[in-house]
């Protein structure tokens, strides 16, 4: 059974810092991995999708990497802003999507 | 292009009642998945439908059921509601095994 772990559970940083969120998974037979952002009480907003054959994807200040063999993915956020404050979730897709518990990020002005 | 639409947004039901939630996927997406999100358990997979057939099912009791119509719209039904069914129910649509897009969810409160 696929297990997805996200570290840290919570992170607080001052505005402008670069930061890294981590995601690990136990079964490397995945189709893809997706990073999401969730604001309180809202649905999930897709940030980046990495196919199993890819090593990384970039969108603006976000960069996600995937190392399937070691079962790890990282989400790098450059020059963080208060508007980045949210919970970040990673999900691995093999037959069904399994989610980590998320990292709650707070960016202080 | 319209996103994933879930209705209703909020619902309050009494224990023992049943409830039906609706999800309209993005046009052209034939896969619809349902998830339950609670503070204690996080996001848990309920089931996935593709072309009106249930393709995958999570580890939930038979009180949770779903279906998909020919226009890809999906409904999920929970019968004999329990207090522990209070949660945010999210649906996602995809085209094949590509990027999943989520709706805003239905907040169900069971009293």
Q: How many CB pairs under 8 A join A and B?
A: 50
Residue B1, pLDDT score: 64
Beta bridge pairs of residue B53: B50
Among B92, B51, B45, which residue's Cα sits nearest to residue B64? Answer: B45
When computed from its CA atoms, the radius of gyration of chain A, rounded to whole angstroms, is 13
Residues sharing a CB contact under 8 Å with residue A30, sequence separation 6 or more, in sequence order? A52, A68, A92, A93, A94
pLDDT at A95: 75
Kindly report, residue by residue over A74-102, the tens digit of the pLDDT: 999 999 999 999 999 999 998 788 999 99
pLDDT in tens, B27-36: 999 999 999 9
Query: For an interface test with B, which of A96, A100, A101, A104 has the most B Cβ atoms less than 10 Å from its Cβ?
Result: A96
Q: Which of A34, A89, A96 sits opposite B99 (nearest CB)?
A: A34
**A26-80 pLDDT per residue, tens:** 999 999 999 999 999 889 999 999 999 999 999 999 999 999 999 999 999 999 9
Residue recorded with tokens 């200040």:
A61
Question: A41 CA to chain B: closest CA distance, Å?
Answer: 8
Res. B75: pLDDT tops 70: yes
B105's tokens: 């969810």
């Amino acid at each position: 059974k696929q297990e997805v772990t996200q570290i840290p559970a919570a992170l607080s940083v001052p505005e402008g810092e670069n930061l890294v969120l981590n995601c690990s998974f136990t079964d490397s037979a995945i189709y893809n991995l997706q990073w999401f952002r969730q604001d309180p009480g809202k649905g999930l907003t897709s940030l980046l999708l990495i196919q199993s054959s890819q090593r990384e994807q970039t969108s603006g200040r976000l960069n996600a990497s995937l190392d399937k063999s070691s079962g790890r993915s990282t989400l790098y956020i450059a020059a963080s802003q208060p508007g980045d404050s949210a919970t970040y979730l990673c999900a691995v897709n093999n037959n069904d999507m399994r989610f980590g518990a998320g990292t709650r990020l707070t960016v202080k002005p | 292009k319209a996103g994933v639409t879930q209705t209703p947004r909020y619902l309050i039901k009494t224990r023992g009642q049943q409830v039906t939630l609706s999800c309209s996927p993005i046009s052209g997406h034939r896969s619809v998945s349902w998830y339950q999100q609670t503070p204690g358990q996080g996001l848990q997979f309920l089931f996935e439908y593709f072309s009106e057939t249930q393709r995958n099912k999570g580890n939930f009791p038979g009180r949770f059921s779903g279906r998909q119509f020919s226009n890809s719209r999906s409904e999920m039904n929970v019968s004999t509601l329990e207090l522990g069914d209070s949660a945010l129910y999210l649906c996602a649509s995809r085209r094949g095994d590509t990027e999943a897009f989520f709706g805003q969810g239905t907040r169900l409160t069971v009293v």
